[in-house]
Amino acid sequence: AAIEKGGYDHFMLKEIFEQPQTIYDCLRGRLDAVHGNIILSGMNQYAEQIMNAPRIIILACGTSWHAGLVAEYIIEELCRIPVEVEYASEFRYRNPVIHKGDVIIAISQSGETADTLVAIETAKEQGAIILGIVNVVGSSIARKSHAGAYTHAGPEIGVASTKAFTAQLAVLTMIALKIAHEKGSINNERFMHLCKELADIPEKVALVLTQAEAIKVLAEKYKDATDALYLGRGYNFPIALEGALKLKEISYIHAEGYPAAEMKHGPIALVTDTLPVVFVATKDSYHEKVVSNMQEIKARKGRVIAVITEGDTISPTLADDVIIMPPADEIVAPMLSTIPMQLLAYYIGVAKGYDVDKPRNLAKSVTVE
Ligand code: G6P
């Protein structure tokens, strides 16, 4: 097992550190940022239908559902197609309205999650086109889909998903860019810019990972918290949800993720000088608003940990601790801002002495409903 972990203490840490490579592998042969071309051959046959879809429904569970939420923001922004994101377990039992021509995107690392599998079978019977975004080649969801794209992240052993998530984001971003380009819903300049931004992600993830030791120090500082709040807006809202999920899964600290503005409608009541509040606050079109939410937390003495973009001079004055991201377009930034969420959860779990690769009560793949 020590050899399989490649010198890392845990699979989870190994998989976190593999991400520059796994994202690169996911983009390789598909994204040509120089000529502005995206090839997703597993979707060619349905390209027309996807482009003209009246709406897209994304189905997934757990971390994969969070990837779906990010994709909702990206697809609506770039492609101008309405998107709904559903928990597969809810969708399958509520007699959903599906029209012929609706496109379903099922996202699953394992390709075996029972609820997701049954949900797509139901939708298929009603005439939807199913795209599978799956990591495990030949898995049930991959086989049941009409078309799709593999995430190529390699085997993920740690129960808490890390590298599969960023690979899902990479694939979903390529899909959105391809649709948008073909539809003409973004201009060529923006398309070329975003292709380049996406191609630069593996290198930027490597840069973020150089802060692992600093995040380990933060983990020591915050490990005895009993609760934590994770806040973000826009593209980073799902990353706040994912950050809270990672912390719960690995460190057993109760954590809630919330859209930063919505915290005024409840979670703000929990803020005291002992509550860590993680802000995913990278420089994007929501940034000013997020900063004012940060002020609101600081005014109530919350302990603010802020994930910010290099060059941001305002956030550090409001935060107790900062983690700095390289600049990136907001469309691709979630692949960066999620890395400190993974590392923080990992190091807190380890500091508390837990088995982070096999957290209690959790299964890698939930094949029963
Ligand atoms: C389990 C795993 C999670 C995963 C979820 C969905 O809960 O512990 O890490 O996100 O299932 O799994 P899937 O394989 O469908 O992505």
362 lines ligand 1 (CB under 6 A): yes
CA-closest residue to ligand 1 atom 8 = 364
Structure tokens at 350: 């380890």
If one residue of 89, 161, 357 were mutated to test the ligand 1 pocket, choosing by the most ligand atoms within 8 A of its CB, it would be 161
CB 78 within 8 A of CB 185: yes
Closest CA to 11 of 240, 202, 164: 164
pLDDT in tens, the chain (369 residues): 677 898 999 999 999 999 999 999 999 999 999 999 999 999 999 999 999 999 999 999 999 999 999 999 999 999 999 999 999 999 999 989 999 899 999 999 999 999 999 999 999 999 999 999 999 999 999 999 999 999 999 999 999 999 999 999 999 999 999 999 999 999 999 999 999 999 999 999 999 999 999 999 999 999 999 999 999 999 999 999 999 999 999 999 999 999 999 999 999 999 999 999 999 999 999 999 999 999 999 999 999 999 999 999 999 999 999 999 999 999 999 999 999 999 999 999 999 999 999 999 999 999 988
> In terms of DSSP H, where are the helices of 184-209?
188-199, 201-209
CB 201 within 8 A of CB 336: yes
160 lines ligand 1 (CB under 6 A): yes
Q: Are strands 103-108 and 129-134 parallel, antiparallel or unpaired?
A: parallel
> 138-164 burial, b if ≥16 CB within 10 A, otherwise e?
ebbbbebbbbbbbbbbeebbbbbbbbb
The whole-number pLDDT of residue 100 equals 87
63 lines ligand 1 (CB under 6 A): yes
Counting from 1 in the atom list of ligand 1, the atom nearest the Cα of 61 is: 6
3-class DSSP state for residue 309? strand
CA–centroid distance, residue 153 to ligand 1 (Å): 14
CA–centroid distance, residue 165 to ligand 1 (Å): 10
ipTM for the predicted complex comes to: 0.97
For residue 50, report the phi and psi dihedrals to the nearest 5 degrees: -65, -45
Q: How many other C-beta atoms can be found within 10 angstroms of the C-beta atom of residue 295?
A: 14
The whole-number pLDDT of residue 111 equals 97
Alpha-carbon gap, residue 296 to 291, rounded angstroms: 9
CA–centroid distance, residue 68 to ligand 1 (Å): 13
The whole-number pLDDT of residue 369 equals 82
Q: Is-catalytic flag, 196?
A: no
The whole-number pLDDT of residue 1 equals 66
Structure tokens at 121: 């079978």
